[in-house]
Amino acid sequence: MHLKYESIIREPLVDGNKTYHQITEDICAPIERAPSKLWRIGFLMSLSLLGFGAFSIVWEVYWGTGVWNLNKTIGWGWDITNFVWWVGIGHAGTLISAILLLFRQGWRTGVNRAAEAMTIFAVMCAGQFPIWHMGRVWNAFFVLPYGNTRGPLWPNFISPLLWDVFAISTYFTVSLLFWYSGLIPDFATLRDRAQTKFRKMAYGYASFGWAGSAKHWQRHEMLSLVLAGLSTPLVLSVHTIVSFDFATSIVPGWHTTIFPPYFVAGAVFSGFAMVQTLLILTRKILGLQEYITLGHIEAMNKVIVLTGSIVGVAYLTELFIAYYSGVIWEQEAFRLRVLGPYWWAYWGMMLCNVVSPQLFWFKKLRRNVWFTFFMSIIVNIGMWFERFVIIMSLHRDYLPSSWSYYTPSWTEVAFYLGSFGLFFTCYFLFAKYFPVIAIAEIKFILKTSGDNYKKEMEQYEHQDNEVFLQEQSHHH
């Protein structure tokens, strides 16, 4: 048996004196007790918000998209702003589970399950916006390439809007499969612990009859690795394609080659912020501070300050290129962004996305839970402003008679609130009935990164290399 050694300089990823069984107990406990009052209230609130959103959609479908305040220049308004915002949020989960898996970042195991769930729910929310934006939503299936009697007439495969259909649906499917394949063994754990008949049956179905055979685990490892390899370029492609919706149009302010990397960085930025918002609350309410440690929060804050700075560089580059291009239309579009009627959105974006995350250069603030929570909300407000600024930059086109100042109608606001309802309804159900932390994966890293196991390694830390090699070679 090899010695499971990892330098004690690395912070432990699981605090406290944990055993395999204790991990199971800790993570299954919130699922096995009755829902708390706080959970019931939160769930009902989310459900009613969802109902309100559903009502606004019924209203919109009945009367048509005319009930939204879209006009000649602003054709996308809040709707597509929210779409891009939610898709962006949906990037952190797969990034954490896929890219960090390939980079062998052990800390991902504490947060990947909840982050992937967040991804799936965020993509579900995102999908609502373009679908209902179609107006005649009963014709939504026209985007699919199916044999039809109109020629057959096919969708335009070289339109970025159709690429979006493929990108988002693929992303949703692959994220769901990745998430669920990780859940199968954990559902088996819940099934074998279940006390009531109903739970045994339900988790029995959910676990697909998983028993934990060695060969199955070997295939499971291979599946996770290849899915991670596939998801890594996928995650980068999705927001790239979303940015093509803008970048391939020949419109001042949108037609820029910087969009793909800038959108991806922004997506990771907002996604990590949303993970922070959710996990800081989840770890507190479910008592999982020993699994989602300050070290995890700090690691995510480092990603936030990095991607926030990338986004900041992108904003400044955009301004410089607009000036340097010498194109007066481009220059005017950016002058209007900064100083025009929507100046408040631009400066809100700058303050929230570029200036305030710089505070995370201080280690004290990176490890401060409530400051992080506050900042995570600020970042998501900033990222909403970013998409709003980009979409609003069309408010003045080449024809001054169509210039306008767009504000949303109540249905647009209600639709946005409804998407929060959908998101939190799903998240509440997830936090109650699903293992919020990947149980099997935490057990896998326990002996290298558990606090108690790391302490046992201290004796080797100062040992002479020769002596260490001599002693350990006998174990092989």
Partner 1 sequence: MSIKKFAVAVYDDEAVLFPAVKKVRSAGYKIHDVYTPFAVHGLDVALGQKESDLHIAGFIYGITGTCTALGFMGWIFTTDWPQNFGGKPHFPLPAFIPITFELTVLFAAVGMVLTFCYLNQIMPGVKKHIFHPRQTDDKFVMVIEVNDTNEAETLAILQSTGAELTETQVAESDWWYGRFDIKEDYEIQQQLA
Sites for partner 1 among residues 20-39 (CB under 8 A): 20-21, 24
Nearer to partner 1 among residue 168 and residue 288 (C-beta): 168
C-beta of 353: minimal distance to partner 1 in Å?
27
Tell me how far, at minimum, the Cβ of 291 lies from partner 1, in Å. 15
Query: Would residue 261 be called left, alpha or beta, if left means φ above 0 and alpha means ψ between -120 and 50 degrees?
Result: alpha
Nearer to partner 1, 182 or 382 (CB): 182
Minimum Å gap between C-beta 249 and partner 1 is: 13
Pick the piece of the chain touching partner 1 (CB under 8 A) from 89-97, 179-187, 261-269, 458-466.
Answer: 179-187
CA distance 355 to 372: 15
Residues 6 or more apart whose CB falls under 8 angstroms from that of 138 comprise none
Stretch that binds partner 1, among 193-201, 344-352, 394-402, 462-470 (CB under 8 A): 193-201
The site that binds partner 1 (CB under 8 A) totals a number of residues, namely 72
Q: Is 327 a binder of partner 1 (CB under 8 A)?
A: no
Least Cβ distance, residue 75 to partner 1 (angstroms): 20
Q: Work out which of 95, 98, 100, 227 binds partner 1, going by CB under 8 A.
A: 227
Q: Which residues pair with 450 in a beta bridge?
A: 14
Rounded CA gap, 57 and 467, in Å? 71
Of 2, 71, 24, give the one whose Cα is nearest residue 409. 71
Write down the H helix ranges in 286-368. Answer: 294-325, 328-339, 343-349, 363-366
250 contributes a contact to partner 1 by CB under 8 A: no
Report the Cα 45 to chain-centroid distance in Å. 22
Report the distance separating Cα 179 and Cα 302, nearest Å: 25
Per-position DSSP letters for 423-453, written without gaps between them: HHHHHHHHHHHS-SS-HHHHHHHHHHHBHHH
- Report the sign of the C-alpha dihedral through residues 334, 338, 342, 345, in that order: positive
Which of positions 393-452 make contact with partner 1 (CB under 8 A)? 439-441, 443-444
Shortest Cβ 326–partner 1 spacing (Å)? 26
For residue 428, give the amino acid letter: F
Q: Select 217 or 324, whichever has its Cβ closest to partner 1.
A: 217
**Min CB(288)–partner 1 separation in Å:** 18
Nearer to partner 1, 114 or 188 (CB): 188
How far is Cα 142 from Cα 126, in angstroms, rounded to an integer? Answer: 19
Per CB under 8 A, does 330 bind partner 1?
Answer: no
Radius of gyration of the chain, Cα coordinates, nearest whole angstrom? 24
Closer CB to partner 1, 168 or 422, in the complex? 168
Binding piece for partner 1, criterion CB under 8 A, among 113-121, 174-182, 264-272, 421-429: 174-182
**Pattern 134-173, partner 1, x by CB under 8 A:** -----------x-----xxxx-xxx-x-xx--xx--x--x
Residues 361-400 that bind partner 1 (CB under 8 A): none
Of 193 and 302, CB closest to partner 1:
193
Least Å distance, CB 236 to partner 1, is 10
């209203």: which residue's tokens? 59
Interatomic CA distance for residues 79 and 193, integer angstroms: 45
Residue 213 vs 249, nearer CB to partner 1: 213
Residues 89, 380 contacting (CB under 8 angstroms): yes
Per CB under 8 A, the segment of 115-123, 221-229, 273-281, 426-434 that binds partner 1 is 221-229
- Contact call for residues 116 and 178 (beta carbons, < 8 A): yes
Tokens of 254: 């949108």
